Chain A
Amino acid sequence: MSLHPILAALRKHKAGVVLIALQIALTLAIVCNAVFIIYSRVEKVHRPTGIDESNLLLITQQWVGAPSMDTPAGVQQLDSMLRQDLDTLRRQPDVTSVTSITSLPLLNSSWVGGVAVKPGEQTPGKNDVHTAMYFGDEQMIGTLGLQIVEGRNFNASEIAHKGMRDQGEPPIVIVTQDLAKRLFPDGSAVGKVVYFDGSSTPSTIIGVVRRMQTPAVGWGDNFTWYSTLMPFRINATFSRYAVRTRPGQLDAVARTAAAALYNGNPLRVIDEDDGVKRFGDIRGDAYRADIGMAVLMGVVCLILLAVTAAGIVGLTSFWVGQRHRQIGVRRALGARKIDILHYFQLENLMIAGVGAVVGVVMAIGLNRLLMSKFEMQSLPVYYVLLGLLVVMVLGQIAVFVPARRASNVPPVVATRSV
């Protein structure tokens, strides 16, 4: 079929053609970027934290009338209370392992410091690598289900304890593989020494774990995988315990854990809502805003595509109505139904094609704009191409109904005077 008659006819409807093309272009630009945002959020939400997330609980509690964490005697007393709690929890049925811990990945409550390969001079260097510190005992690795890829775990005898506000660097630490590579790009980190927070006391790396995310949510994107495990029980007026349960017993333990702790020592507060948290809930809370954004973007995309399709149906229907007579004449002159159908389909393909090409340019432009204003990645080419395909197919689907109505115009209308 020659394109010439189609082009000639389109020239008579410049405004309509421009509007449909513009709408397709805008839709393509927005949908491409929205889907890309959805993809990046979904990717972020699904990345593993590096710990074994199933069957894991976090208990946060606060002692009432606790001794001071700033006197040696108070710290001793707090530590014995903490060890009593660990004992209580470890004796619970269906509990496989327990550690005291200061935070968990995605908990958004963190202890962040700087780490360097050279001793500091009492001032944390601004070039130090940021790292999130997890303080726990020898059961920390096992309870969290971390994988040691090099070196070894802490021994029970290597675990010390200190007041939350007491300074002092540990003689040994375990770091994540990413942090190890960042600090020691050329070779193994095990056995090497590092210095925390500008201190001049060396800490030796004794082990490397494959992966462990920091507790930070929505910030700290430059050190997401730089975690350090420290062999300390931290003594404060509050404490946290990570509890691993037997498979399937998570809910049972979650129900009874608080009561067991109250039983051992009633002088404490365990928040009814947030005191005992399954790791799944921690993850859910951390990513709720991202999921909400992704869902919103998805809904907007669907509505946009529907609106654009409706617009195409509306304008094409109008053209069909207007060209009723010409269609009759063409049919009378021997055009088959399929020819009429193809005519409108081809016409739409041309308009949508022009719109889509403009849309590709706009999509890339919009992406550049968003990149300059927000933290966004560059839009991959295949997204744009996929978007192009989607709007072209959408155009064809939308045009089908009015085009079929056009093809059903009987040849006899040519002979009728209107």
Chain B
Amino acid sequence: MLGYYLDLAVRSLRRNKILTALMIVTLALGIGASITTLTVLKLLSGDPLPEKSANLFYARVDPNPLEGYVPGQTKPDSIMSYTDAMNLMHAHRAVRQAAMALIDAKIDTQHPNDHPYFADGVMTTADFFALFNAPFQYGSGWTADDDESRATLVVIADFLNNKMFGGANSVGKTIRIDDRDFRIVGVLKHWAPQPRFYATDLGGHDYGDGDAVFMPLKTARSLDKGPQDTECYASVSDLQHLESAPCEWLGMWVQLDDSTAVANYRMFLDGYAKQQVALGRFKRSETSLLDLMSWLSDQQVVPNDAKLQTYLAFGFLLICVVNTVGLLLAKCLRRSREIGVRRALGATRRDIFTQFMVEAAIVGVAGGVLGLVLAVLGLWGVRHQPAQYASLAHLDVEMFLVTFAVALVASLIAGLLPAWRACVVAPAPQLKAA
């Protein structure tokens, strides 16, 4: 029976090519626009570390002066001072903990003709790699002892290893960063979480390539590497010694494996803040401990323009569906007589309904295919935008399937009213009129 409906539908669609083309193109435009923007939005608001995000927490305390403080409303600053970060680190109250800041690393290619160039880097503590499940290709991270002894060693990213050492195992070799020789202890596999969650509000970009070098925090500081972002909560006399300055420049992540651990850590953090208030270091006892995804939404990492475009695209799709409903309705009412004949010859209402829904579905699938082409074109356009996330805009399998689901659902919704109108056509008047 379905084959027969398909045949009827194709015949009917062929009869009025312009109207059919108009429906398909309209639907395709709506679908193309929504899939393009939805892909970008999904990419931007995705979970950067799905296997671990629920266990990662971002800790904040508030060393700011009392002025402007509204208890319960004022949120702590998004970064932490060295003193607080180290106090929390050394308490070892979480399974793993790491403090980090972003740096610019001047990398000397040691080819006579190449200028040195700047790459993104992270200065952090030993737990960083295990904390974030950063995968190693060769070697491993460094130890807490290396942190304390300010060892000049470094973990480099795969792309830097490919560039400098042709992808070979470079563990044990040296690399010249900021006019210093660093011993390579580990080479990461490709690792570029999107968004680069650990760096939001540390002064770097949120999307795009991963970092090229990772070095121990104290080593980097002893070589006078400065963080990309510094916020001071009191007047500063000496920005060189950031460790003792009343300035915030570190992000603090901890791993907590179950809700008890989270509750305990929250208590510990509150206790720490109260203790600092008692010591007179803090004026505010506000703290915050957000899991990774809550932290990202708190930071509003996803650009507003991307959200606005998605809204717009779905509004557009809605109009396209309304338009398709209208055109399908016109088509089907024009065929009242044909329906009358079919009903008189024994077709049930259900048959008529199915027939028209099949017709709508064909329009939907055709619109979906064309919409997919438009979405691929749209994403190509996005890739040529200057946005940080541009190079990531690709259609994945999931969105490929979503495209067809959206197309089919949109066209079936569009087909409902016309098909219902068709199946309630009374056969007798139609036949009489003939």
Contacts and interface: CB of A to CB of B under 8 A. Distances in A.
Q: Do A and B bind each other?
A: yes
Interface of A: 15-16, 19-20, 22-23, 26-27, 29-30, 34, 37, 64-65, 68, 70, 120, 122-127, 165, 167, 197-199, 269, 285, 288-289, 292-293, 296-297, 300, 303-304, 307-308, 310-311, 314-315, 317-318, 321-322, 366, 370, 373-375, 418
Contacts of A285: 386
A199 B68 CA distance: 19
A304 B316 contact: yes
Interface string B310-343: 0111011011101101110111011000000000
Given A19-B322, A289-B305, A314-B327, A30 B239 contact: no
Nearest to A284: B386
A310 B323 contact: yes
Contact of B234 (A65, A124, A311): A124
Contacts of A297: 312
Contact of A311 (B64, B179, B235, B326): B326
B398 interface: no
Contacts of A373: 307
A293 B40 CA distance: 14
A310 B330 contact: no
Given A311-B323, A315-B326, A269 B116 contact: yes
19 contacts: A16-B329, A16-B330, A23-B319, A65-B179, A122-B234, A123-B234, A199-B235, A288-B386, A289-B305, A289-B387, A296-B309, A303-B316, A304-B319, A314-B19, A315-B327, A315-B330, A318-B330, A322-B333, A373-B307
Given A70-B240, A124-B233, A303-B316, 17 more contacts: A19-B326, A30-B315, A34-B312, A37-B308, A122-B235, A125-B68, A167-B236, A289-B385, A289-B387, A293-B309, A307-B323, A310-B323, A315-B326, A317-B330, A321-B334, A370-B308, A370-B311
Contacts of A30: 312, 315-316, 319
Interface string B56-96: 00000000110110000000000000000000000000000
A22 B318 CA distance: 10
**Residue among B307, B313, B322 having the largest count of chain A Cβ atoms under 10 Å:** B322
A27 B316 CA distance: 8
B115 interface: yes
Contacts, number: 128
A64 B239 CA distance: 22
A208 B240 CA distance: 33
A15 B329 contact: yes
A165 B239 contact: yes
Contact of B33 (A27, A289, A300): A300
A123 B65 contact: yes
Contacts of A269: 115-116
B194 interface: no
Given A26-B318, A30-B312, A126 B334 contact: no
B325 to A, nearest CB: 6
Contact of A26 (B26, B33, B233, B322): B322
A123 B67 contact: yes
Contacts of A321: 334
B319 A308 contact: yes
B411 to A, nearest CB: 15
B394 interface: no
**Residue among B64, B316, B334 having the largest count of chain A Cβ atoms under 10 Å:** B316
Contacts of A289: 305, 385-387
B67 A125 contact: yes
Contacts of B237: 167
B401 interface: no
A125 B234 CA distance: 9
B319 A198 contact: no
Contacts of A292: 385-386
A263 to B, nearest CB: 16
Would you list the 5 A-B pairs with minimal beta carbon distance, nearest first?
A126-B68, A318-B330, A165-B239, A19-B326, A311-B323
Contact of A123 (B26, B233, B331, B333): B233
A23 B387 CA distance: 33
B297 interface: no
B130 to A, nearest CB: 34
Given A27-B319, A198-B235, A374 B330 contact: no
Contacts of B433: 418
A296 B306 CA distance: 12
B26 A307 contact: yes
Interface in B198-251: 224, 232-240
Interface string B26-49: 100100010000000000000000
A373 B116 CA distance: 45
A113 B33 CA distance: 42
A296 B19 CA distance: 27
A308 B236 contact: no
Nearest to B332: A318
Contacts of B224: 68, 70
A124 B312 contact: no
A70 B225 CA distance: 13
B188 to A, nearest CB: 26
Contacts of A315: 326-327, 329-330
Contacts of B322: 19, 22-23, 26, 311
Contacts of A375: 304
A117 to B, nearest CB: 16
A285 to B, nearest CB: 7
Given A123-B67, A297-B312, A314 B330 contact: yes
A318 B333 contact: yes
B320 to A, nearest CB: 6
Contacts of A304: 316, 319
B107 to A, nearest CB: 12
Nearest to B22: A310
Contacts of B64: 126
B421 interface: yes
B305 A23 contact: no
A124 B234 CA distance: 6
B280 to A, nearest CB: 14
A324 to B, nearest CB: 11
A318 B329 CA distance: 10
Contacts of B232: 124
Nearest to B312: A300
Contacts of A308: 319, 323
A254 B155 CA distance: 39
A311 B414 CA distance: 14
Contacts of B304: 374-375
B131 interface: no
